[in-house]
Amino acid sequence: MNGVGRILAPIEAALAAVEETMARRNNPGLEVLAGGKRLRPALLLFAAGAAGHGEHGRTRTNTDGHGQAMADAVLLAAAVEMVHTASLIHDDVIDESSERRKGAALHKVIGTRAAIILADYLFVQGLALLESVKRTSLVPEVVREVLVMCEGQWLEMKVAAGATCTERQYHEVIEKKTAALFAFCCRAGGRLRGADAAELAALDEFGRNFGFVFQLLDDAEDMGEGERKKGSKRVRAEQNSIERAIAQCGGRRYLRRSALEFARRARTAARKIANPVARRGMIRLLESVAEG
């Protein structure tokens, strides 16, 4: 078992239930759901208290409060992962990326039009899972977060096409496109577990900063990959305004330094997470991302 596998071991049964839930949708794009890091579902499940709760993350029947909370956590985690995967397919098409997860991007395998249709299908399938969520107050929140994510993608395109990009604009893109969904996962898990207002605020803060760490380091990796493949067809001849701004701030060194600061903020927020099992699992997941 690798390092991440050991971190996820306490929620292994619940994560298996997430995989089964996605598989039961019996969709033609199931293979594109394989191999992901499952960071968003993992944070939601840790925050919900799924660690050590037996088969499918439940120890009781779905008719009691705790069992239903775990069932809802699995459904929400699956929905978020499907929507996230759909967004990656759209991202690769928009960015004209040729690779994804060390393999060919989906649109390079099945064609651009087919990839877009499949991504749309995954979006709808993910949102359709929400019909079974009993904690109905969380459903409109998921829809709002998906909307924010789409706004983030649009903002990124708009800023990247402009003449300049400020750090504030860059952070706003990360906030909308990436960090907000991480924050929702942590907050939703806490609500299902019955966390009080103070802990929910801490969970939200942790998830938001976690999202910044993840995106900053992902951008640093992309920048390093671009430098290694400079001159290949995969790399554009000209940088967009976001890439130029990052380069002017110090490039990968700036991104990594910024990620360290957001990781520090996440650890500070984690101290206020009352559930010790959730807190430990989420911090360990943060460290695994921060250490690369």
Average pLDDT over residues 211-227: 86
Q: How confident is the model at residue 264 (pLDDT cuts 50, 70, 90)?
A: very high
Instruction: Tell me which CATH code domain 3-290 carries.
Output: 1.10.600.10
248 contacts: CB under 8 Å, gap ≥ 6: none
DSSP-H helix ranges across the chain: 3-8, 12-24, 39-48, 65-95, 106-110, 112-128, 139-161, 167-174, 180-193, 197-228, 241-249, 252-270, 276-290
Q: Which two tokens stand for residue 3?
A: 């390092």
* Phi, psi for 45 (deg, rounded to 5): -70, -40
Average pLDDT, the chain: 86
Predicted pLDDT at 166: 93
Residue 57: band (very low, low, confident or very high) from pLDDT cuts 50, 70, 90: very low
Q: What mean pLDDT do residues 124-152 have? A: 93
pLDDT for 233 = 36
Amino acid at 141: E
Residue 97 has what pLDDT? 81
What is the mean pLDDT of the segment spanning 54-69? 54
In terms of average pLDDT, the best of 108-122, 129-143, 256-270 is: 256-270
End-to-end CA distance of the chain: 17
Helix axes 39-48, 197-228, angle to 10 degrees: 160
> In Å, how far from its chain's centre is CA 7?
17
d(CA 72, CA 177): 24
Burial class (CB in 10 A: 0-12, 13-18, 19+), 280: middle
C-alpha angle 184/188/191, rounded to 5°? Answer: 140
Which of 11, 131, 164, 18 lies closest to 85 in space, CA to CA?
18
Asked if residue 61 has pLDDT above 90, the reply is no
Which band of pLDDT confidence, cut at 50, 70 and 90, is reported for residue 52?
A: low
**Among candidates 224, 79, 82, which has minimal Cα distance to 139?**
79
Highest mean pLDDT among 48-62, 73-87, 223-237: 73-87
**Beta carbons of 81 and 33 less than 8 angstroms apart:** yes
Q: What is the pLDDT of residue 223?
A: 84
Long-range CB contact pairs, 154-160, < 8 A, 24+: 156/242, 157/94, 159/241, 159/242, 160/240, 160/241, 160/242, 160/243
**Mean per-residue pLDDT for 151-168?**
92
Do residues 177 and 242 make contact, with C-beta atoms less than 8 angstroms apart? no
Cβ atoms of 215 and 178 closer than 8 Å:
yes
